[in-house]
Chain A
């Protein structure tokens, strides 16, 4: 079974609007970390935001926030006030405490911001 599921292969959002990118995960660990990365067309992978499994508050970094619902095992990324530069591929990822702590990535969501 996939550990990280991103069900939206592609999404469009109007400039200045907010958008939510979905991510669900599967783990039996109590301790884990959740991450979002952005990959623009230039190819580099950029870390956006982190949420720990024990964090009670949703993480925020500027226009990015992570809507963490532990019971539902979801970690959706919310981008507020979308900008043209937000057009990119977005990957959700999880790092579990067990094993060798390898990070597992989702398949990604391609976001296009429309002017």
Chain B
């Protein structure tokens, strides 16, 4: 157990639907990052939060949104889902400092049918 909890682990939904992915960071980590990984692809950075505030945005579609709550858990909302949104969505958390890498959750595997 990495300490980063992602739910659900698997999600199957239809096109046009909306889903919410949840992430609880490792205890003490203030930063949360969301990544998308399509089949056999690299990690695409979506968005970063630090202590409740958005810090950086990557290639996140307008149909996607996220937030980090006061208890530091984060949610990624995906709406108007398309087949191409099928992917593994990772949440990672970290403390500040270049000596520290990310701790990843186990991911949510989203399948849009």
Q: Is the CB of A45 within 8 A of B98?
A: no
Separation in Å of the A91 CB from the closest CB of chain B? 7
Find B56's partner among A52, A91, A100 (CB 8 Å cutoff).
Answer: A100
Chain B residues contacting A96 (CB-CB under 8 Å) are 98
Residues 54-99 of A at the B interface (beta carbon under 8 Å) = 91, 93, 95-97, 99
Does A43 sit within 8 A of B, measured CB to CB? yes
Does B109 sit within 8 A of A, measured CB to CB? yes
Q: Is the CB of B107 within 8 A of A44?
A: yes
Q: Is the CB of B101 within 8 A of A35?
A: yes
Cα A14 to Cα B99 in complex, Å, equals 33
Q: Is the CB of A52 within 8 A of B109?
A: no
Highest count of chain A CB atoms <10 Å: which of B98, B99, B101, B104: B98
- Number of contacts between A and B (CB, 8 Å)? 62
User: Number of A residues contacting the other chain (C-beta, 8 Å)?
Assistant: 26
Does A7 sit within 8 A of B, measured CB to CB? no
Residues 82-113 of B at the A interface (beta carbon under 8 Å) = 88, 90, 92, 94, 96-104, 106-107, 109
Cα A14 to Cα B92 in complex, Å, equals 33
Cα A21 to Cα B98 in complex, Å, equals 22
Find B33's partner among A44, A53, A99, A102 (CB 8 Å cutoff).
Answer: A102
Highest count of chain A CB atoms <10 Å: which of B94, B101, B102: B101
CB-CB under 8 A for A31 and B98, given A45-B90, A100-B56: yes
Chain B residues contacting A97 (CB-CB under 8 Å) are 98
Cα A101 to Cα B109 in complex, Å, equals 27
Cα A29 to Cα B32 in complex, Å, equals 23
Separation in Å of the B61 CB from the closest CB of chain A? 19
CB-CB under 8 A for A43 and B109, given A105-B43, A106-B42: yes
Cα A101 to Cα B94 in complex, Å, equals 10
- Where the two chains meet, the residues of B that have a C-beta atom closer than 8 Å to any C-beta of A are 2, 33, 42-43, 45, 48, 50, 55-56, 88, 90, 92, 94, 96-104, 106-107, 109
